[in-house]
């Protein structure tokens, strides 16, 4: 049978391969249609069964390229037509097949095409070999890609760039970085695609030495003015923590785009510099650059770190106004933002509206519920996650174990710790910390100590610190001293354990031992972080420290607290002076309690907010026991919901009780 030459299609999105029918009738054109998103399920080659479409069609459309073999053969219908001699192959057929595999991430079909290509007369074609290398990288077939690269008799700049870019995009930064000097060593001059990829690798490795060297090479090659290289440089420097250098590159860029802005915004967000992120977000809009999903994600992360609910709501509204869809990774950061800003109800609403929930979505929701003291709800949601078929990871179990610890769910905590083995997850030190905390908070101090001694890994300072915290709670001096000594050996510069040990001694009235602990801190250069609290009122942040008289309204604030303190004493508040670590008389000890930073912040909020509105306070360390008790009474007397976020969790005070049920 005579082979007909390949005929170029009239439509660039389709490819028509004609074979003269046996009845020798004139060739007929079949109507050509383009594939839409709605047609995807019909056109998906995976849904086609052998024989479903009848006899092989002489016309191959765009979506036919990865159609399975109707009968036994190579595995793909187009390749079967080539093998039977029905069509004359050329490079464009293989190139089209490879591109389709790369676009649809079809590794299995890509291997079939590659094997067929290696047996063709075009097997030495460098262009198609580069396409196959790129296809394997995009499909995650890194071993296949490396084999293709090693077997290539000839390589060009595209070959090396495809290899480096593939490594960088598949989180193999070390391999990408190692390939770059090899490429230069064999005489190839990198282009802006190569530079962008190796800079991405340098940023992932946080290797500013490599990044600076590549930057110098960019200047030498004249690629530093390219917008993509410039954006990659900004990203690299900020990932290495060099914000000044990143900003310098950004400011020197003649041409910027959304990627440039996103790189700088994301860098500040990773550093927790929320104010800078919000300023850049506004500057970006003033410069007429539209925010993307990546912009919103970074900005929500910044709001989460600051706990600024109103700013976060404003940016969420901005995203909705711009018509942006709530895709998974943006939704995940939005859930995290609302939870960390104190609005767990808004976090739940966002979670419920997500079209697709992945393990990160569930982890964000579980973390939020745990932080807000919703232990039982966290457990219930975790069970729903398992029913939905989402496989939990190590972070998931850490979220659930934390919820059990803070919620006093002892049996559930034990069960989920054992469940990790079913999912082939090896507990890390953080999981052991939560288990020690779970046992300690339940008052099972001896069991907690035995658990530590039986751990298969060496306990660190955090593990012993969890036991020390429980000893402080239950005033077990002997075991507390033992745990503190272990912490001092492992982390002598952490002030937290020193303070906890001092609290234990102070509770027992052992003031000489308190003085010894203080001397240890002075001699070792260990400094306690000054406690401070802050509250947002009308988009302004007001910060307070203990006994603060620097605020312009300090006198009014103190009078307000004294008034409130009198009211709550009438309904049962008794100052707990055991939290004062000074050997002074009872009256002076009580006075020192009254002007803690969270009480001053609360008094100011009562002065400056409308009656009945929710008050939100943030604190940089754990809220003290006396303040916790006092705020419970204030929520009842003043009829306010008061939400306090400390380093451990959220406390929702309402009608004289707290969401933690005094178990924190």
Dump pLDDT digits (tens) for 111-161.
999 999 999 999 999 999 999 999 999 999 999 999 999 999 999 999 999
> Does position 110 have pLDDT exceeding 70, yes or no?
yes
pLDDT of residue 286: 94
Residue reference for tokens 């009198």 = 566
> Does position 578 have pLDDT exceeding 60, yes or no?
yes
Selection from 454, 449, 427 nearest residue 439 by Cα: 449
Higher pLDDT among residues 69 and 38, named by residue = 69
Give the mean model confidence (pLDDT) for residues 357-382: 95
Name, in order, each residue with C-beta under 8 angstroms of 546's C-beta and a sequence gap of 6 or more: 530, 531, 595, 596, 597, 600
> Does position 439 have pLDDT exceeding 90, yes or no?
yes
Dump pLDDT digits (tens) for 217-228.
999 998 988 999
> Does position 583 have pLDDT exceeding 60, yes or no?
no
Q: Which two tokens stand for residue 456?
A: 């298969």
Phi and psi, residue 650, nearest 5°: -100, 140
> Residue 59 — pLDDT band, cuts 50, 70, 90?
low
Q: Where in the chain is the domain with CATH 1.25.40.10?
A: 428-524
Dump pLDDT digits (tens) for 507-558.
777 888 888 888 888 888 888 778 899 998 877 889 999 888 888 999 999 9
Higher pLDDT among residues 301 and 493, named by residue = 301
> Residue 166 — pLDDT band, cuts 50, 70, 90?
very high
pLDDT of residue 33: 36
pLDDT of residue 472: 86
pLDDT of residue 198: 96
Dump pLDDT digits (tens) for 587-596.
555 666 788 9
The H or E element that residue 618 is part of is: strand 615-619
pLDDT of residue 32: 35
The strand order across the sheet containing 540-545 reads 540-545, 532-537, 615-619, 642-645, 650-654, 657-658
Question: 127 and 133 in contact (C-beta within 8 Å)?
Answer: no
Q: Is 23 exposed, middle or buried (CB count within 10 Å of its CB: 0-12, 13-18, 19+)?
A: exposed
Q: Which two tokens stand for residue 404?
A: 């059990």
Give the mean model confidence (pLDDT) for residues 65-88: 82
Dump pLDDT digits (tens) for 447-464.
999 999 999 999 999 999
Give the mean model confidence (pLDDT) for residues 11-39: 36
Dist CA 37 CA 31 (whole Å): 19
pLDDT of residue 41: 33
Dist CA 39 CA 41 (whole Å): 6
> Does position 258 have pLDDT exceeding 80, yes or no?
yes
482-491 LR contacts (CB < 8 Å, sep 24+): 486/459, 486/461, 487/461, 488/520, 490/460, 490/461, 490/464, 491/460, 491/461
pLDDT of residue 2: 41
The H or E element that residue 652 is part of is: strand 650-654
Selection from 592, 452, 586 nearest residue 531 by Cα: 592
pLDDT of residue 127: 95
pTM of this structure? 0.79
pLDDT of residue 18: 35
Question: 139 and 107 in contact (C-beta within 8 Å)?
Answer: yes
CA distances (Å), 260 to each of 161, 192, 233, 236, 447, in order?
Answer: 22, 15, 9, 11, 54
Give the domain 428-524 fold: 1.25.40
Name, in order, each residue with C-beta under 8 angstroms of 422's C-beta and a sequence gap of 6 or more: none
The rounded percent of the chain whose pLDDT value lies above 90 is 67
Dist CA 61 CA 27 (whole Å): 16
> Does position 25 have pLDDT exceeding 70, yes or no?
no
């Amino acid at each position: 049978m005579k082979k007909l030459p390949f005929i170029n299609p009239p439509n660039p999105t389709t490819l028509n391969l004609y074979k003269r029918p046996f009845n020798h009738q004139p060739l007929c054109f079949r109507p050509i249609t383009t594939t839409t998103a709605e047609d995807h399920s019909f056109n998906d080659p995976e849904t086609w069964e052998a024989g479903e479409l009848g006899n092989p069609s002489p016309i191959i459309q765009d979506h036919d390229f990865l159609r399975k073999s109707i009968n036994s053969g190579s595995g793909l219908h187009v390749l079967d037509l080539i093998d039977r001699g029905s069509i004359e192959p050329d490079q464009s057929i293989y190139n089209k097949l490879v591109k389709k595999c790369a676009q649809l991430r079809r590794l299995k079909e890509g291997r079939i095409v590659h094997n067929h290509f290696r047996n063709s007369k075009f097997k030495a074609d460098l262009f198609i070999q580069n396409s196959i290398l790129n296809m394997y990288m995009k499909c995650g077939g890194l071993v296949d890609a490396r084999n293709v690269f090693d077997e290539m008799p000839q390589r060009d700049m595209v070959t090396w760039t495809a290899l480096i870019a593939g490594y960088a995009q598949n989180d193999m930064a070390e391999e990408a970085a190692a390939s770059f000097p090899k490429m230069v060593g064999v005489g190839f001059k990198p282009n802006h695609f190569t530079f962008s990829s190796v800079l991405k690798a340098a940023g992932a490795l946080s290797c500013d030495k490599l990044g600076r060297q590549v930057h110098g090479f960019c200047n030498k090659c004249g690629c530093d003015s390219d917008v993509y290289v410039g954006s990659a440089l900004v990203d690299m420097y900020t990932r290495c923590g060099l914000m000044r250098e990143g900003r310098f590159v950004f400011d020197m860029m003649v041409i910027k785009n959304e990627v440039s802005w996103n790189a700088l915004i994301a860098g500040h967000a990773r550093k927790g510099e929320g104010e800078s992120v919000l300023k850049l977000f506004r500057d970006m809009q003033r410069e007429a650059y539209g925010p993307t999903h990546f912009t919103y994600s970074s900005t929500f992360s910044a709001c989460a770190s600051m706990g600024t609910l109103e700013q976060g709501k404003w940016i969420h509204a901005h995203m909705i106004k711009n018509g942006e869809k709530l895709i998974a990774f943006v939704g995940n950061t939005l859930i995290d933002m609302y939870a960390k800003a104190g609005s767990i109800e808004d976090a739940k609403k966002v979670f419920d509206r997500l079209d697709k929930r992945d393990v990160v979505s569930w982890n964000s929701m579980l973390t939020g519920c745990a932080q807000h003291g919703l232990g039982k709800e966290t457990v219930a949601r975790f069970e729903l996650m398992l029913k939905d078929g989402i496989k939990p990871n190590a972070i998931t179990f850490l979220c659930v174990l934390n919820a059990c610890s803070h919620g006093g769910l002892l049996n559930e905590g034990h069960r989920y710790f054992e469940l990790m083995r079913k999912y082939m997850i090896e507990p890390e030190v953080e999981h052991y910390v939560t288990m020690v905390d779970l046992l300690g908070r339940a008052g099972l101090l001896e069991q907690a100590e035995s658990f530590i001694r039986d751990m298969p890994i060496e306990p660190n300072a955090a593990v012993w610190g969890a036991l020390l915290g429980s000893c402080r709670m239950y005033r077990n001096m002997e075991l507390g001293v033992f745990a503190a000594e272990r912490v001092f050996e492992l982390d002598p510069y952490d002030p937290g354990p020193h303070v906890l040990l001092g609290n234990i001694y102070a509770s027992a009235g052992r003031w000489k031992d308190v003085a010894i602990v203080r001397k240890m801190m002075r001699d070792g250069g260990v400094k306690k972080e000054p406690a401070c609290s802050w509250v947002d009122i009308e988009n302004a942040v007001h910060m307070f420290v203990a006994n603060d008289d620097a605020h312009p309204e300090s006198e009014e604030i103190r009078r307000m607290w004294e008034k409130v303190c009198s009211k709550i004493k009438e309904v049962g508040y008794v100052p707990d002076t055991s939290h004062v670590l000074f050997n002074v008389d009872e009256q002076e000890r009580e006075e020192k309690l009254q002007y803690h930073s969270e009480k001053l912040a609360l008094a100011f909020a009562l002065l400056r907010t409308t009656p009945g509105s929710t008050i939100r306070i943030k604190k940089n360390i754990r809220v003290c026991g006396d303040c916790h008790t006092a705020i419970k009474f204030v929520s009842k007397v003043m009829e306010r919901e008061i939400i306090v976020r400390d380093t451990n969790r959220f406390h929702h005070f309402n009608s004289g009780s707290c969401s933690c049920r005094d178990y924190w």
